[in-house]
Amino acid sequence: MAQKPFFDKCFTQRRYENAHFNFTNLFMWRNIYSIRWAEQDGYLILQAEYDNHRFMLQPIGPDQGVEAVLEKMAAYCAAESRPFVLRGVEKFMVDIIEKWRPGQFTLTSERDNFDYVYNSKDLIELKGRKYHGKKNHINSFYRNYSNYQYFPLTAEWAPKCIESEMEWCKKKGCDEDAHLRGERDAVIEVLTHWDELKLTGGLLLISGKVEAFTFGEQLNSDTAVIHVEKANPDIRGVYPVINQKFCATAWQHLSFINREEDMGIEGLRKAKESYYPVKMTEKFNIVF
């Protein structure tokens, strides 16, 4: 947590659109992905591991001088006798790397990790026939749970949200799913350090019980990123309601909302596509 000011400074050196490029995301997933960091010539250097494969993220900082930093990253990997692998690379960095070492790497796109980006106005207003199904679910929720309350998520609510997360996990079988266990631990990590992370969140209360919660932050000058959205799957309409309420109360002043990737999960992809993104944030893998 002590490194947050340095991370935040690096992430504001230029515009980033990758939902993972913020301190919160790296902090909450640091144990699951064995994330390590270093400072090199004013840049943030990040290394992670997944399925026993180590990789690096693109250097985070200003564009000027980035080629020299890439050289040092490549030399570090060579000294360890392993390939120089970058994952989650934004398109502008692909162009920089192509000029730095033209034709010397393999480039592949990571469709499963593309971020879904929506017009804020679309998520708030849900106008038009394409959102008819969403509005039906929302109206059903309002009819059946007229006693609901929406509150901003604060540190005082964090313990109740953790209880909600644990109940969600029981219903979804987190103990039998390594990814869901990791997600549970990451969510609890954030809620435990709520004030320090300075996030924005919201929750739905029904009969005094937290049945949905969500949180995110501003990603860049015109875009918010939603890190987590959890709700009781047995309550019809609760997901579209928490989404609409949160966007309307927290992100009305921004043009876009990034709801992160679908990880190749069919149900998640269908859900994210059902809100009709206006663009996708492309991410690439580079191997030297």
Per-residue confidence in pLDDT tens, the chain, 288 aa: 889 999 999 999 999 999 999 999 999 999 999 999 999 999 999 999 998 999 999 999 998 999 999 999 999 999 999 999 999 999 999 999 999 999 999 999 999 999 999 999 999 999 999 999 999 999 999 999 999 999 999 999 999 999 999 999 999 999 999 989 999 999 999 999 999 999 999 999 999 999 999 999 999 999 999 999 999 999 999 999 999 999 999 999 999 999 999 999 999 999 999 999 999 999 999 999
Residue 24 burial by Cβ neighbours in a 10 Å radius (0-12, 13-18, 19+): buried
Q: What's the pLDDT at 1?
A: 83
Separation of alpha carbons 102 and 149, rounded Å: 56
Q: What is the DSSP letter of 49?
A: E
Convert 207-242 to b/e letters by CB count within 10 Å (16 or more is b).
eeebbbbbbbbbbbeebbbbbbbbbbeebbbbbbbb
User: Token pair for residue 23?
Assistant: 């301190």
Residue the block writes with tokens 């609510």: 157
> Of 257, 144, 268, nearest to 206 (Cα)?
144
Please report the domains of the chain, with CATH numbers, ordered by start residue. Answer: 4-113 (3.40.630.30), 117-260 (3.40.630.30)
Q: What is the dihedral of CA 152, 10, 18, 287, to 10 degrees?
A: -150
Q: Could you give the CA distance from residue 161 to residue 154 in angstroms, rounded to a whole number?
A: 10
113 three-state secondary structure:
helix
Tokens representing 64 are: 């000027």
Question: Whole-structure pTM over 0.85, yes or no?
Answer: yes
Distances (CA, A) of 165 to 190, 203, 244: 12, 12, 20
Pairing type for strands 256-258 and 223-231 reads parallel
What pLDDT shows up at residue 63?
A: 87
163-181 as b/e: b if 16+ CB within 10 A:
ebbeebbeeeebeeeeeee
Tokens representing 244 are 């609409």
Strand partners, 108: 285
* d(C-alpha 205, C-alpha 212), whole Å: 7
Per-residue pLDDT, 254: 99
